[in-house]
């Protein structure tokens, strides 16, 4: 008899504890030795995931509970990586919907739940972090029912089981305060309420590739769900490509999942999830089927990107000093490679050979790609993120978001004013009487660019924001841009403390002393709205005269550390972020001060005014 299988994905808003729950499930499934040391959030295995403490890529694992094999997909909760979740849902028959018992459902909870309900997947509700002192599980459960109803859940779907967990200590309760000390109630619930996979092991082979992975030993791996039939090692099968053509291939190596390992298998039956090695050129969404009797599956369809950024070769005077890959050919090849695994991304040509338009789901998704590229040795420049605008039947439309801002009561006025200037419309305000309020806005996606950093400044770091794509709306017209100009270096050289000391009162510096700069590089933010050219290389004049002011100690304010994300949020239309393995610099598109137009938005504003 074959082993019973259950396939689940864990879905939630960012940070609600998915990866931590997987840790506990792995530990309690007896996959590790008793005394084996485990790192926390073990599934967050890539460098950027560990550094940032977030999941970026969906990943598979599997455990055994009693006789049942449970395949688990851990998914990312940040909305920019929603494409990963959409694919993961194709692999499973049910979902664990985690909700933080204090925060309650947030925009990404809504997004992933909506996708899961549309795919007719059986949900199990898991209220996590019940140990938080501010946990309010009963109220949160009510909010979850409201959300289900709002999403038009069927009667069946509304009848979901609920568990209460502390993922950190690995405990699940059926009722709050019952005497459970393990995750056993959760395992039991999965086996009881998630339907076993359908599909006949003797039917025509039907497999869909939903993810790609890479292993140092095996090279490229296609991760796929076997929907029907049995995939056997050594057999000839057909790959149904995305363009509809059929390509015969021989399956040489098969693996199934077990904890963090992959076990080599002779055959994998309908219902299970398989990793296939050695299939050249296979892509996400393609299916594998019988060669003589092909019955390909529909390709995966996922949501369209909403944000675009131009990636171009580095043309700054320092180009090629710090990176290994600098040509447009390098850039093109790297972006094409990315498209193979990152299916929610698109790349389009621009009018010029050296620049590409990269489309994604959000600033973070693109920032992660840029960060990965610079670590691999690439140099490039990126322009200001822009929202995709569609024209349908002569009507211009743009994406609209649901935005939730959670902040202390004292900042309500400031937040409303800021969002008003970005064409946000308040829909709802809820006061939990904890000193904080939660406000819901409807706002064009354009209004979100650069919003996070400005909101954090305006609310002294206390505001939390979450957003969700709601749909498309009529183009809302011009929107307020960055209200400040830049402090721009007027010549090449090395920055000098004395010069910075003279400039710093004008705004906020991005560079400290001893930094090599070039003409047109941005040294800081001007407090006023226009750009100002500054000489940051000016040495103090040597004099024989002693004067009290000349001896005055130079006190420098530490420069603002412009991380990649901050730099991307900061730049205006006429500026670039220059990215190399060692540096992140900001610059004007036109470096030569004499040739540089005034800031484009001013020019545009004056044109608008005169027309
Ligand atoms: N107090 C408490 N903290 C928890 C619990 N579960 C998770 N956490 C903490 O919550 C934070 C986020 O946990 P993760 O497991 O990374 O959350 P995630 O849902 O995987 O996050 P993303 O994958 O980035 O969406 C970590 O600091 C965890 O230690 C819990 O039950 N109680
Ligand atoms: Mg995670």
Total-model pTM: 0.85
Mean pLDDT, the chain, as a whole number? 90
| Contact (Cβ atoms closer than 8 angstroms) between residue 90 and residue 210 | yes
Cα 531 from Cα 490, distance rounded (Å): 11
- The answer, yes or no, to whether residue 600 has pLDDT greater than 70, is no
With a 6 Å cutoff on the Cβ, whether 79 touches ligand 1 is no
What is the pLDDT, as a whole number, of residue 145? 95
Q: How far apart are CA 608 and CA 115, in angstroms?
A: 43
pLDDT of residue 141: 96
The larger pLDDT score, comparing residue 255 to residue 607, is at: 255
Q: Is 588 in the pocket of ligand 1 (CB under 6 A)?
A: no
Is the pLDDT at 251 greater than 80, yes or no?
yes
Pairing of strands 522-526, 507-509: antiparallel
Say yes or no: CB of residue 168 within 6 Å of ligand 1: yes
Q: Please name the residue that has the structure tokens 């000349």.
A: 550
Within 10 Å of residue 256's Cβ, how many Cβ atoms?
20
Distance CA 329, CA 323 (A): 14
Ligand 1 pocket, residue 108 CB under 6 Å:
no
For ligand 2, the distance from its centroid to the CA atom of residue 165, given in whole angstroms, is 16
Q: Is the CB of 76 under 6 A from ligand 1?
A: yes
Question: Would the CB of 54 count as within 6 Å of ligand 1?
Answer: yes
pLDDT grade for 550, boundaries at 50, 70 and 90: very low
Please write the tens of the pLDDT for every residue from 413-439.
999 999 998 899 999 998 877 788 999
Q: Is 18 in the pocket of ligand 1 (CB under 6 A)?
A: yes
CA distance 128 to 178: 15
435: how many CB neighbours lie within 10 A of its CB?
Answer: 9
Ligand 1 atom nearest 128 alpha carbon: 31
Q: How far is the CA of 58 from the centre of ligand 2 (A)?
A: 9
Which of ligand 1's atoms lies nearest the C-alpha of 22?
A: 15
CB atoms under 10 Å from CB of 1, counted, come to: 4
* pLDDT of 257 higher than 70: yes
Direct distance between the N- and C-terminal alpha carbons of the chain, in angstroms, rounded to an integer: 79
Distance 42 CA to ligand 1 centre (A): 12
For the cut 90, the answer to whether the pLDDT of residue 323 exceeds it is yes
Apex CA 183: angle with CA 180 and CA 188, to 5°?
Answer: 100
Query: What's the pLDDT at 611?
Result: 43
Beta strands in 409-560 (DSSP E): 425-431, 436-444, 464-474, 486-489, 493-494, 507-509, 516-517, 522-526, 532-534
Name the residue at shortest CA distance from atom 9 of ligand 1.
17
């Amino acid at each position: 008899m074959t082993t019973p299988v259950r396939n689940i994905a864990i879905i939630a808003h960012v940070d609600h504890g998915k990866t931590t729950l997987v840790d506990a499930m792995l530990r309690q499934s007896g996959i590790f030795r008793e005394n084996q040391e485990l790192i926390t959030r073990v599934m967050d295995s890539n460098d950027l995931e560990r550094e940032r403490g977030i999941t970026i890529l969906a990943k598979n694992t599997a455990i055994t509970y009693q006789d049942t094999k449970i395949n688990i997909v851990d998914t990312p909760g940040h909305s920019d990586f929603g494409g990963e979740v959409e694919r993961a849902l194709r692999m499973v028959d049910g979902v664990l919907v985690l909700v933080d018992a204090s925060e309650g459902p947030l925009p990404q909870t809504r997004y992933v739940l909506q996708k899961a309900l549309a795919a007719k997947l059986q949900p199990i509700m898991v209220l996590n972090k019940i140990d938080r002192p501010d946990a309010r599980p009963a109220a949160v459960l009510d909010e979850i029912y409201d959300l289900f109803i709002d999403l038009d859940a069927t009667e069946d779907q509304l009848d979901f089981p609920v568990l209460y967990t502390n993922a950190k200590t690995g405990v699940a309760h059926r009722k709050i305060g019952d005497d459970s000390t393990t995750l056993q109630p959760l395992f039991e619930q999965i086996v009881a309420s998630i339907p076993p996979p359908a599909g006949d092991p003797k039917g025509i082979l039907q497999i869909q590739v939903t993810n790609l992975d890479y292993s140092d030993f095996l090279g490229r791996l296609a991760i796929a769900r076997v929907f029907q039939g049995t995939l056997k090692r050594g057999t000839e099968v057909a790959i149904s490509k995305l363009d509809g053509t059929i390509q015969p291939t021989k399956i040489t190596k098969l693996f199934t999942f077990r904890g963090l390992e992959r076990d080599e298998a002779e055959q994998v039956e309908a219902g299970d999830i398989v990793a296939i090695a050695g299939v050249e050129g296979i892509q996400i969404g393609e299916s594998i089927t019988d060669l003589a009797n092909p019955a390909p599956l529909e390709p995966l369809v996922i949501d369209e990107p909403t944000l675009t950024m131009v990636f171009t070769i580095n043309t700054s005077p320092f180009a090629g000093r710090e990176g290994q890959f600098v040509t447009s050919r390098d850039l093109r090849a790297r972006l094409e490679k990315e498209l193979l695994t990152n299916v929610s991304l698109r790349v389009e040509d621009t009018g010029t050979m050296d620049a590409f338009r990269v489309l994604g789901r959000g600033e973070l998704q693109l920032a992660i790609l840029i960060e990965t590229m610079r670590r691999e040795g690439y140099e490039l420049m990126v322009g200001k993120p822009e929202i995709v605008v569609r024209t349908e039947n002569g009507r211009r439309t743009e994406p609209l978001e649901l935005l939730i801002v959670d902040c202390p009561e004292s900042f309500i006025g400031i937040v409303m004013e800021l969002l008003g200037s970005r064409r946000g419309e308040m829909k709802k305000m809820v006061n939990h009487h904890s000193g904080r309020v939660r406000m819901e806005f409807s706002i064009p996606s354009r209004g979100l660019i650069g919003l996070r950093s400005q909101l954090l400044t305006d609310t002294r770091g206390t505001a939390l924001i979450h957003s969700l794509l709601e749909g498309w709306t009529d183009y809302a017209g011009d929107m307020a841009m960055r209200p400040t100009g830049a402090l721009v270096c007027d010549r090449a050289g090395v920055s000098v403390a004395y010069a910075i000391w003279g400039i710093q009162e004008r705004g906020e510096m991005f560079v400290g002393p001893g930094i090599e700069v070039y003409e047109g590089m941005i040294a800081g933010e001007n407090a006023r709205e226009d750009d100002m050219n500054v000489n940051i290389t000016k040495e103090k004049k040597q004099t024989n005269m002693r004067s009290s002011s000349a001896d005055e100690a130079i006190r420098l304010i530490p420069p603002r550390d412009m991380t990649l994300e901050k730099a991307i949020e900061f730049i205006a239309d006429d500026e670039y972020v220059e990215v190399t393995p060692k540096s992140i610099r900001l610059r004007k598109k036109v470096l030569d001060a004499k040739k540089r137009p005034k800031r484009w938005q001013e020019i545009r504003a004056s044109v608008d005014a005169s027309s």
